[in-house]
Chains A and B, each alone.
Chain A
Amino acid sequence: MASYVVVVFFLITLNFFLPRALPGAPISALDDPRSETYVGDESSRIAVENYYGLDRQLGDQYTTYLEDLVQGDLGTSIRFNAPVTEVLGDRLPWTLLLVGTALALATGVGMVAGVHSGWRRGRRADKGLLALFLAIDNFPVFFLASIAVFVFAVKLGVFPLSGARTPFSESSGVLAEIADVAYHLALPATVLALQFAAFQYLVMRASMVGELESDYLVLGRAKGLGDRALKYRYAARNALLPSLTVAGLQVGVAVTAAIFVETAFAYPGVGRLMFESVADRDYPVMQGCFLLLSVAVVTANFVVELAYRRLDPRTSP
Chain B
Amino acid sequence: MTAPLLEVSDLSVRFGGDVDALRGVGFALDREESLAVVGESGAGKSTLAHCIVGLIQPPEAAGSVRLNGEELIGASAATLRSVRWRLVAIALQGAPFNPVVPVIDQVAEPLREHGGLSSSRARRRADDLARESLLDPALLRRFPHQLAGGERRKATLAMALALDPAVVILDEPAAGLDPATGRELLDRVHELRRARGFSLIAISHDLPAVARLCERTIVLYAGEVAEAGPTEHVIGRPAHPYTWALVNSYPVTSTTKDLRPIRGEPPDPRAVPSGCPFHPRCTQSETICRDRHPPLERSGGRLVACHFGGLKVLLSATLVHKAFHSGSRRLDALQAVSLTVREGESVGVVGPSGSGKTTLARVIAGDLSPDRGEVILEGERLARSWRRDARALSRRVQLVRQDPWDALSPRLTVAELVREPLDIAGAGDQQRRSAVRARLESVGLPGYGTFLEARVHELSGGQLQRIALARAIAARPKLLVADEPTSMLDASEQARLLVVLRELQVEMGLGLVLVSHDLALVRKVTDRIVVLDAGRVAEEGSSAAVSGRPRSLAARRLMEAARAFAVGDERGASERASGGGTN
Interface residues of A (CB under 8 A from B): 214-216, 218-227, 229, 233-234, 237-238, 241, 311-314, 317
Smallest Cβ-Cβ distance to B84: which chain A residue: A224
Interface residues of B in 103-146 (CB under 8 A from A): 109-110, 113-114, 143, 145-146
> In the assembled complex, which residues on chain B have CB atoms less than 8 Å from the CB atom of A220?
98
> In the assembled complex, which residues on chain B have CB atoms less than 8 Å from the CB atom of A227?
77
B99 touches A314 (CB 8 A): yes
Q: A229-B113, A313-B143 known; A219 and B96 CB under 8 Å?
A: yes
Minimum CB–CB distance from A233 to chain B (whole Å) comes to 8
A311 touches B109 (CB 8 A): no
Smallest Cβ-Cβ distance to B96: which chain A residue: A215
B109 touches A215 (CB 8 A): no
Smallest Cβ-Cβ distance to B114: which chain A residue: A224
Minimum CB–CB distance from A243 to chain B (whole Å) comes to 14
Determine the distance from Cα of A214 to Cα of B86 in the docked complex, in whole angstroms. 23
Q: A222-B85, A224-B81, A224-B83 known; A216 and B98 CB under 8 Å?
A: yes
Q: Does B65 contact A (CB under 8 A)?
A: no
B145 touches A314 (CB 8 A): yes
Shortest Cβ-Cβ A-B pairs, 3 listed: A224-B84, A215-B96, A313-B143
Pick from A224, A238, A317: contact of B82, CB under 8 Å: A224
> In the assembled complex, which residues on chain B have CB atoms less than 8 Å from the CB atom of A229?
113
Pick from B86, B92, B143: contact of A314, CB under 8 Å: B143
> In the assembled complex, which residues on chain B have CB atoms less than 8 Å from the CB atom of A314?
99, 143, 145
A–B pairs, 29, beta carbons within 8 Å: A216-B96, A216-B98, A216-B99, A219-B92, A219-B97, A219-B98, A220-B98, A221-B55, A222-B50, A222-B55, A222-B84, A222-B85, A222-B92, A223-B89, A223-B113, A224-B80, A224-B81, A224-B83, A224-B113, A225-B81, A226-B113, A233-B101, A237-B100, A237-B101, A313-B99, A313-B100, A313-B143, A313-B145, A317-B146
> In the assembled complex, which residues on chain A have CB atoms less than 8 Å from the CB atom of B143?
313-314
Minimum CB–CB distance from A92 to chain B (whole Å) comes to 36
Minimum CB–CB distance from A168 to chain B (whole Å) comes to 54
Q: Does B94 contact A (CB under 8 A)?
A: yes
Give chain B's interface residue range (CB within 8 Å of chain A): 20 to 34
Q: Does B158 contact A (CB under 8 A)?
A: no
B110 touches A224 (CB 8 A): yes
> In the assembled complex, which residues on chain A have CB atoms less than 8 Å from the CB atom of B55?
218, 221-222
Determine the distance from Cα of A314 to Cα of B55 in the docked complex, in whole angstroms. 28
Q: Does B90 contact A (CB under 8 A)?
A: yes
Q: How does the 8 Å CB contact mask read for B47-88 relative to A, with 1 for contact and 0 for none?
A: 000100101000000000000000000000100111111100
Q: How does the 8 Å CB contact mask read for B142-180 relative to A, with 1 for contact and 0 for none?
A: 010110000000000001000000000000000000000
> In the assembled complex, which residues on chain A have CB atoms less than 8 Å from the CB atom of B113?
223-226, 229
> In the assembled complex, which residues on chain A have CB atoms less than 8 Å from the CB atom of B145?
313-314
A312 touches B100 (CB 8 A): yes
B97 touches A216 (CB 8 A): yes
Pick from A223, A233, A237: contact of B110, CB under 8 Å: A223
Smallest Cβ-Cβ distance to B81: which chain A residue: A224
> In the assembled complex, which residues on chain A have CB atoms less than 8 Å from the CB atom of B159?
223
Minimum CB–CB distance from B88 to chain A (whole Å) comes to 9
> In the assembled complex, which residues on chain A have CB atoms less than 8 Å from the CB atom of B85?
222-224
Determine the distance from Cα of A172 to Cα of B92 in the docked complex, in whole angstroms. 67
> In the assembled complex, which residues on chain A have CB atoms less than 8 Å from the CB atom of B86?
224
Determine the distance from Cα of A227 to Cα of B77 in the docked complex, in whole angstroms. 9
> In the assembled complex, which residues on chain A have CB atoms less than 8 Å from the CB atom of B83?
224
A215 touches B94 (CB 8 A): yes
> In the assembled complex, which residues on chain B have CB atoms less than 8 Å from the CB atom of A218?
50, 55, 92, 96
> In the assembled complex, which residues on chain A have CB atoms less than 8 Å from the CB atom of B110?
223-224
> In the assembled complex, which residues on chain A have CB atoms less than 8 Å from the CB atom of B102?
313
Determine the distance from Cα of A220 to Cα of B96 in the docked complex, in whole angstroms. 10
- The residue in A215, A224, A229 that gathers the most chain B C-beta atoms within 10 A of its C-beta is A224
> In the assembled complex, which residues on chain B have CB atoms less than 8 Å from the CB atom of A312?
99-100
Determine the distance from Cα of A233 to Cα of B101 in the docked complex, in whole angstroms. 9
> In the assembled complex, which residues on chain B have CB atoms less than 8 Å from the CB atom of A224?
80-86, 110, 113-114
New A-B contacts (13) at CB < 8 Å, excluding given A225-B113, A313-B102, A313-B145 = A215-B96, A216-B99, A222-B50, A222-B55, A222-B84, A222-B92, A224-B81, A224-B85, A229-B113, A233-B98, A233-B101, A237-B98, A312-B100
Determine the distance from Cα of A317 to Cα of B146 in the docked complex, in whole angstroms. 8
Determine the distance from Cα of A311 to Cα of B99 in the docked complex, in whole angstroms. 11
Minimum CB–CB distance from A313 to chain B (whole Å) comes to 4
Determine the distance from Cα of A13 to Cα of B317 in the docked complex, in whole angstroms. 96
Q: A224-B80, A224-B110, A224-B113 known; A215 and B92 CB under 8 Å?
A: yes
Pick from A215, A222, A241: contact of B53, CB under 8 Å: A222
- The residue in B55, B98, B145 that gathers the most chain A C-beta atoms within 10 A of its C-beta is B98
Minimum CB–CB distance from A236 to chain B (whole Å) comes to 11
> In the assembled complex, which residues on chain A have CB atoms less than 8 Å from the CB atom of B94?
215
Determine the distance from Cα of A227 to Cα of B101 in the docked complex, in whole angstroms. 18
> In the assembled complex, which residues on chain A have CB atoms less than 8 Å from the CB atom of B109?
223, 225
Minimum CB–CB distance from B566 to chain A (whole Å) comes to 50
A222 touches B90 (CB 8 A): yes
Determine the distance from Cα of A229 to Cα of B89 in the docked complex, in whole angstroms. 18
Minimum CB–CB distance from A278 to chain B (whole Å) comes to 45
Determine the distance from Cα of A194 to Cα of B130 in the docked complex, in whole angstroms. 49
Determine the distance from Cα of A215 to Cα of B144 in the docked complex, in whole angstroms. 13
> In the assembled complex, which residues on chain B have CB atoms less than 8 Å from the CB atom of A238?
98-100
Minimum CB–CB distance from B126 to chain A (whole Å) comes to 13
Minimum CB–CB distance from B342 to chain A (whole Å) comes to 42
Smallest Cβ-Cβ distance to A317: which chain B residue: B146
> In the assembled complex, which residues on chain B have CB atoms less than 8 Å from the CB atom of A215?
92, 94, 96
Pick from A222, A234, A241: contact of B98, CB under 8 Å: A234
B81 touches A226 (CB 8 A): yes
Smallest Cβ-Cβ distance to A240: which chain B residue: B100
Determine the distance from Cα of A313 to Cα of B106 in the docked complex, in whole angstroms. 15
> In the assembled complex, which residues on chain A have CB atoms less than 8 Å from the CB atom of B146?
313, 317
Determine the distance from Cα of A238 to Cα of B143 in the docked complex, in whole angstroms. 14
> In the assembled complex, which residues on chain B have CB atoms less than 8 Å from the CB atom of A226?
81, 113
Minimum CB–CB distance from B54 to chain A (whole Å) comes to 8
Minimum CB–CB distance from B138 to chain A (whole Å) comes to 16
Determine the distance from Cα of A316 to Cα of B308 in the docked complex, in whole angstroms. 60
Smallest Cβ-Cβ distance to A316: which chain B residue: B143
Determine the distance from Cα of A313 to Cα of B81 in the docked complex, in whole angstroms. 29
Minimum CB–CB distance from B361 to chain A (whole Å) comes to 57
Smallest Cβ-Cβ distance to A241: which chain B residue: B100
Minimum CB–CB distance from B32 to chain A (whole Å) comes to 22
